[in-house]
C-alpha cells in the first residue's frame, strides 16, 4: 500500500519534470524485446548451428562451388571456373596429321611431345606450356570426382586453328578430365556452346579429350578431329 501510495505521488509530480524527462535520449529499438533472453541465447545458437550445417551441406553437395575445397593442385587454379568453347573447326579444312594423332593417342607432330589422349592433366608433358593470358590449364582431380578449373571465356568466332599449329609448335597438355562436376562453373544440365558467345558449361562428353597449347592459345581437340578454342580467363 505504501509503495502504491508513493507511485501515486510520483504520478503527481510537477508537469515540468515530466516534460523534462522527454529530453532523455531516445530509447534504442530493441529487436525481439518480447522474447526472453534465455530463448534468444538458445535461438541464436540453434541458428548458428543451422547455418554451419547448411554451409557444410552446400559445400559437400556442390551447390556452393566457389567454396568448394579442392584437393590436389588447385592452388593456382582460378577459383570460379567457367568454360567456353568454340565451334568445331570447319570441316572443309583438313588438319594435317590430326586424325592420326588424335585417334591413336600419339604425340602431336612438330613438337613431338604430345601425350596420349587418355592422360589427364597433371602437368605439361612436353615442357612448359607457356600460356599467354592466365594460369595454365590445371585440374583438380579428386577421388572419382573431377573438378576442372580450366578455361573460361567466350567463343571467338572463326578461330579454330588452321591445323598447322600442331605441326609447328603445338603441344599436348593432357586430357580434359572434365566431368562429373562440370565443364563450367555450374552443375546445370549440359548446354552447348554457340557462336553468339553462350557460355559452354558442363559438357560431360568433352571429358577425356585432348587439350593442346600452341602459341599461347589453347584448343580442345574433339573426337571428330575438329577443335574448340579455349580462351583462358582473364578476370
* Least separation in angstroms between CB 39 and other proteins: 15
With left for phi above 0 and alpha for psi between -120 and 50, is residue 182 left, alpha or beta? Answer: left
Nearest CA to 118 out of 172, 166, 169 is that of 172
The answer to whether the CB of 232 falls within 8 A of the CB of 153 is yes
Residue closer to other proteins, measured from CB, 23 or 61:
23
* Least separation in angstroms between CB 2 and other proteins: 5
The answer to whether the CB of 211 falls within 8 A of the CB of 137 is yes
11 binds other proteins (CB under 8 A): yes
The DSSP bridge partners found for residue 146 are 141
69 burial (CB, 10 Å; 0-12 / 13-18 / 19+) is: exposed
Within residues 13-52, the interface with other proteins by CB under 8 A covers 13-28, 30
* Least separation in angstroms between CB 14 and other proteins: 4
Cα–Cα separations (whole angstroms), residue 45 to 2, 34, 37, 48, 58:
44, 18, 12, 5, 20
Identify which range of 11-19, 49-57, 125-133, 167-175 contacts other proteins by CB under 8 A. Answer: 11-19
C-alpha angle 230/223/184, rounded to 5°? 40
Residue closer to other proteins, measured from CB, 25 or 66:
25
Residue closer to other proteins, measured from CB, 18 or 55:
18
- Site size for other proteins, by CB under 8 A? 26
* Least separation in angstroms between CB 232 and other proteins: 55
Q: Which residue in this structure is represented by grid cell 587439350? A: 211
Sequence-separated (6 or more) residues with CB below 8 Å from residue 26: none
Site string for other proteins, 162-201 (x = CB under 8 A): ----------------------------------------
Identify which range of 4-12, 40-48, 110-118, 124-132 contacts other proteins by CB under 8 A. Answer: 4-12
* Least separation in angstroms between CB 5 and other proteins: 7
Given the rule CB under 8 A, which residues bind other proteins? 2, 5-28, 30
Amino acid at each position: 500500500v505504501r509503495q502504491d501510495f508513493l507511485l501515486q505521488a510520483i504520478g503527481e509530480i510537477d508537469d515540468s519534470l515530466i516534460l523534462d524527462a522527454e529530453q532523455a535520449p531516445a530509447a534504442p529499438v530493441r529487436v525481439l524485446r518480447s522474447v526472453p533472453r534465455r530463448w534468444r541465447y538458445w535461438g541464436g545458437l540453434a541458428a548458428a548451428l543451422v547455418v554451419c550445417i547448411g554451409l557444410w551441406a552446400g559445400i559437400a553437395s556442390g551447390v556452393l562451388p566457389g567454396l568448394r575445397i579442392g584437393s590436389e593442385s588447385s592452388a593456382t587454379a582460378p577459383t570460379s571456373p567457367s568454360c567456353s568453347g568454340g565451334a568445331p573447326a570447319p570441316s572443309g579444312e583438313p588438319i594435317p596429321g590430326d586424325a592420326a594423332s588424335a585417334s591413336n593417342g600419339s604425340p602431336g607432330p612438330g613438337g613431338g611431345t604430345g601425350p596420349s589422349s587418355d592422360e589427364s592433366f597433371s602437368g605439361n608433358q612436353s615442357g612448359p606450356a607457356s600460356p599467354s593470358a592466365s594460369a595454365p590449364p590445371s585440374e583438380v582431380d579428386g577421388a572419382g570426382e573431377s573438378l576442372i578449373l580450366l578455361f573460361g571465356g567466350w567463343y571467338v568466332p572463326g578461330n579454330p586453328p588452321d591445323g598447322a599449329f600442331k605441326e609447328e609448335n603445338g603441344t599436348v597438355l593432357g586430357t580434359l578430365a572434365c566431368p562429373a562436376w562440370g565443364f563450367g562453373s555450374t552443375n546445370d544440365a549440359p548446354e552447348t556452346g554457340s557462336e553468339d558467345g553462350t557460355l559452354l558449361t558442363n559438357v560431360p562428353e568433352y571429358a577425356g579429350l585432348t587439350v593442346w597449347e600452341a602459341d599461347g592459345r589453347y584448343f580442345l581437340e574433339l573426337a571428330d578431329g575438329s577443335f574448340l578454342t579455349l580462351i583462358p580467363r582473364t578476370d
